[in-house]
Structure 1
Amino acid sequence: MGYFQIIRAGGSSKRYSLMIRMLQTIDKEDMETLWKLVKAKHGNTRPEEQYERVLWGDLKVMFEPDIKSEVWRSLQGYKVTVWKLFYSCGVHFVRFQNLHIYMLVEKTYPLTPATITYMLNKKLQADH
């Protein structure tokens, strides 16, 4: 089974099978550092390895929202099933029927009015 392994400068490491598990223990500075490392390694080239591709995709959507991206176009018509805030890292997790996205609290994302309405109807859950 694949996983993300985060190794800190001090040598400690932790493995995560899902990004949502990582968000429960990471802070904002760590998120920004992780994106810088992934961006430096892959740039705008989509990685081939499955878990690296998933991490790169989730972080790219989170840090570089683009209205032309297929992710934002594919949200049309999907209802929100979960909307959760991970307070320690300032990340919203939004699950739709067939996909999910992560969004930084302080960024503006190309959400449609229908998607925002679904989110508000679902009500925000916080991690503490």
Structure 2
Amino acid sequence: MENLEFCDKHNIVNWEYILLGMTEAKDSEVCKITRADGSSSFHGDIQALLRRLDRQDLSQLYSLVQERFKDHPLEGHDLDLWGDLRMIFDPNEEDDIWLNQQYWELLRWKLHEYSGVHSLFLDGTSIQINMLVEKKYPLKKEILEKMINLKIEAEEESTMAHELIKFIKSQIAEQS
């Protein structure tokens, strides 16, 4: 894995969803991330965030969302973002998503090395399960085995991908 230095990177200070325009009679909104230096970046969905933000950025964004959530309820895209980030950083094994794993049909398993997150894409639904590489989630043995059988999609062969596969295999062994 490349060693990425961010000496001159500025902290995320805000996020907002902005309307870019209409396409095929539907609004096209993106998440605008603003940094302390005034620069901003635009992200279409959680997968775009995972490709372009590193772990520190994701943690900062989650803290900002939690902070805003305390003061007033989130709705729309903000609620979706909070749900995605909460699943990554603070999963609740009592959530329906984890309790209904027997219905999951896995399509893909992808590694976002930059953010240190791996994603499961489920068939027949727009649900994506995003998880930190080194964190244990309430995944059942059957799902872990399906992940290994799918093979992970990574941009290139990497230590992180190999370590993640070893980690998943150790979880399978624990549940045997």
TM-score of the alignment, normalized to the shorter chain, above 0.5: yes
How many equivalent pairs are there?
Answer: 127
1:27 aligns with 2:15: no
Task: Pick from 12, 22, 42 the counterpart of residue 69 of structure 2.
Answer: 42
* Structure 2 residue ranges without an equivalent (≥5): 1-27, 157-176
TM-score norm. by structure 1 comes to 0.91
RMSD: 1.7
Distance 1:16 1:79 in 2: 27
Counterpart position of 1:13: 40
Structure 1 counterpart of 2:137:
109
Is 2:29 the counterpart of 1:2? yes
**Distance across 2 between alignment mates of 1:121 and 1:94:** 13
Aligned to 1:87: 113
Give the structure-2-normalised TM-score. Answer: 0.67
Q: Which has the higher contact order (CA 8 A, sep 6+)?
A: 1
**Aligned-partner Cα distance in 2 for 1:59–1:53:** 10
Matching residue within 38, 58, 72 for 2:98 = 72
Q: CA deviation at 1:80?
A: 1.2
Percentage of identical aligned residues: 33
Letter in 2 for 1:12: S
Q: Choose 1 or 2 for highest CA Rg.
A: 2
